[in-house]
Structure 1
Amino acid sequence: MEYAEINGGRIAYELAGPQEGEVVLLSHSLFFDHTMFDPLAELLHDAGYRTLAYDHPGQGASSRVTLAELSMDALTEAAAALVRTLDLGQVHAVGNSMGGFITLRLAARHPELLRTVTTLGASAEEEYQLAEFGPLAEALGQDGAAAANVETLLYIMFGDTSLANGGDVVDHWRSYMSALDTSIGAAAYQVIHRDRIYEELQDVSVPVLAIAGDEDHAYPQPISGSNIATATHGRHETVSPAGHSVALEQPQVVAELLIKHFTS
């Protein structure tokens, strides 16, 4: 891991892959860190791309920050500052779930930094399950994930097929989520209290691809697919079988879709 001083805090990141490759910014989901993209990053490296995977402020190995600094708007500005600080030129921005909320805001507000945008399991709308997710975020803030039902988090973040099959990936993230402390509650609060960005995307000039998982329990089609495509005048694809963590559950399929999008 390397670290960049951004807005008075420290962002942990990993820059890897062919030195001359176009850079792909990888923006992770809530309850994960940058390593959720490890399988996808390897495939992109093999295809000649360089990747910049980072931990959001307040998560992973990055600095803990205030509640206000965990808003989607603030996290978007931190991501833009990271790209500028590392002097990477224009990047392909890819975000899963919360990371997708951020990449959409980058498309609307910082198009000069971008070649393309791809969202996976994301939304351009306000949280439609606020009544369900609100108590969960409150419990996380009070007791951390260890005292909450980690199986509930896994159900939100993975599809039925992944959960039924189990294996190393699900087991690893069960263990990771179980160790999350109370600070994750503030991040969860800001995720579910984000503002709608749908109308702001109407004039986006950056090519946008929205990828949805057919078993997504959090943001199923049309939320994570056709709604984003309509808002951005972009395209959408549905991946099967996959839940909310599309990049982690189907890295090979996602890599193929990304490369097609990058080169189209």
Structure 2
Amino acid sequence: MAILKGVAATVAAIFLILLVFYWAAGRAKPVLDADSRAALRKQGLAHAFMDLPDGTVHYRLEGPSNGPLVVLVHGFSLPSFVFDDYVKPLTDAGYRVLAFDNYGRGLSDRPAVEYDANLTDRLILNLTDKLGLTAPAHFVGYSMGGAAAVIFAARHPERVRSLTLIAPAGLGIAPKLKEGVLARPVIGEWIARMFGLRIFHDIAAKDAQAAPDPVRFLADFDRQMDYRGYGDALVSTIRHYPLDSAQVDYAEAGRSERPVLVIWGEADETVPFSASQKLMALMPRARLHSYPGLGHNIAFSRAPLVTGLILDFLAGQQDVTMGAKTPMRIEARPAGNGAAPEQR
């Protein structure tokens, strides 16, 4: 009996120690507050901030005030800096561009809520409303941002003029993301707080190798981890966001006659290219560009290619009747020279 009591006491002590470490790890980073944001703006590391019902959001709005609006929606872990190379080509072409950090990412707040589709939907609606940008806009969504754009279009069809989906989530993701240790109750939070920042940094460091400026890419990524709540937000997103179960929203958005452009790397291991078959079945009017040998990083590793496709797509809408009934399928060809595939 004494041995059992000793074992129980040891287990209780270990549990208490782990609990203390877990609590301390969650508070080790400073809170992203008004003073932090002011300092970031002074250093030229932030653009603008807006207070919304769910928290403060970091955003960037550039281009002619009378230009058609393009809304850029980033993905799961990379905040809005992933679109930095999109802003100048789009604004130079006469578009007004809005990019923002989703809650829990970048320099936006990390509210203690479930990170589900409703949260992102409210952010987009509240931010565009408060900025007075209520006219139909062109939405560009990358990865999880693709799912967010589709869900927004399904719920608010009057606010979406066209969709560009770059390796969009919502119809399928790598099992290691949805079924990995971060998705498990208790264990996920523990891993995220104790080891998550190192894990996330290492993944980003690998992604940075494909970026035009790897050093800047990694510095921009790591900046969001200087503040409390990033890891917790990702864990909550894995559990509550429809990363692989947004079929109803794709079908609803697909019933519209709005133009849809899809861009995908066929070697994508994060959001497998095989999901494009589901997408094209649900959105039969979509135009698909796919590239052998390119992966999930196509959005930033081949930014000139992607922005060129987007600009052609947007320009073409001025000449193509939205009621046209014939969808355009686009055959892929090797993308070694960055050229677009042939249209047939």
Structure 1: 5+ residue stretches without partners: none
Which is richer in strand?
Answer: 1
Aligned counterpart, 2:215: 171
Map of 1:2-151 to 2, 5 A cutoff?
2-68=48-114, 70-88=115-133, 89-125=135-171, 127-130=173-176, 134-136=180-182, 138=188, 141-143=192-194, 145-148=196-199, 150-151=201-202
CA RMSD of aligned residues (A): 2.6
Bigger mean CA deviation after superposition, 205-214 or 45-54: 205-214
Of residues 277, 281, 297 in structure 2, which corresponds to 1:230? 281
The CA deviation at 1:74 is 1.4
Q: Is the 8 A contact 2:104 2:234 kept in 1?
A: no
Mark the CA change 1:66 to 1:31 in structure 2 (over 3 Å): closer, same or farther.
same
In terms of Rg, which structure is larger? 2
Aligned counterpart, 2:261: 209
Secondary structure of the residue aligned to 1:116 is: strand
Q: Is the 8 A contact 1:140 1:148 kept in 2?
A: no
Q: Is the 8 A contact 1:145 1:178 kept in 2?
A: no
The CA deviation at 1:57 is 1.5
Q: Percent identity?
A: 25
Bigger mean CA deviation after superposition, 88-97 or 211-220: 211-220
Deviations 1:221-260 (A, max 9, x none): 122x343232222222114653223221111111122123
Secondary structure of the residue aligned to 1:227 is: helix
Aligned counterpart, 1:199: 248
1:202 partner letter:
A
Mark the CA change 1:178 to 1:135 in structure 2 (over 3 Å): closer, same or farther.
farther
Q: Is the 8 A contact 1:22 1:91 kept in 2?
A: yes
The CA deviation at 1:198 is 0.9
Mark the CA change 1:151 to 1:64 in structure 2 (over 3 Å): closer, same or farther.
closer
State the distance in 1 between where 2:117 and 2:213 align.
27
Secondary structure of the residue aligned to 1:5 is: strand
Give TM-score scaled by structure 2 length.
0.66
State the distance in 1 between where 2:302 and 2:48 align.
27
Aligned counterpart, 2:271: 219
Q: Is the 8 A contact 1:127 1:192 kept in 2?
A: no
Secondary structure of the residue aligned to 1:217 is: coil
Give TM-score scaled by structure 1 length.
0.84
State the distance in 1 between where 2:288 and 2:269 align.
18
Mark the CA change 1:202 to 1:146 in structure 2 (over 3 Å): closer, same or farther.
closer
State the distance in 2 between where 1:85 and 1:148 align.
36
The CA deviation at 1:84 is 1.8
State the distance in 2 between where 1:51 and 1:215 align.
29
Secondary structure of the residue aligned to 2:252 is: coil
State the distance in 1 between where 2:233 and 2:300 align.
21
Structure 2: 5+ residue stretches without partners: 1-46, 318-344
Is 1:186 matched with 2:237? no
The CA deviation at 1:145 is 4.3
How many residues are paired up?
255
Of residues 284, 288, 298 in structure 2, which corresponds to 1:246? 298
Secondary structure of the residue aligned to 1:115 is: strand
State the distance in 1 between where 2:261 and 2:60 align.
24
State the distance in 2 between where 1:210 and 1:187 align.
27
State the distance in 2 between where 1:15 and 1:173 align.
21
The CA deviation at 1:189 is 2.4
Mark the CA change 1:238 to 1:152 in structure 2 (over 3 Å): closer, same or farther.
same
State the distance in 2 between where 1:209 and 1:140 align.
37
Deviations 1:107-158 (A, max 9, x none): 1111111111111121232545156763256366223644326333455xx4
Secondary structure of the residue aligned to 1:212 is: strand
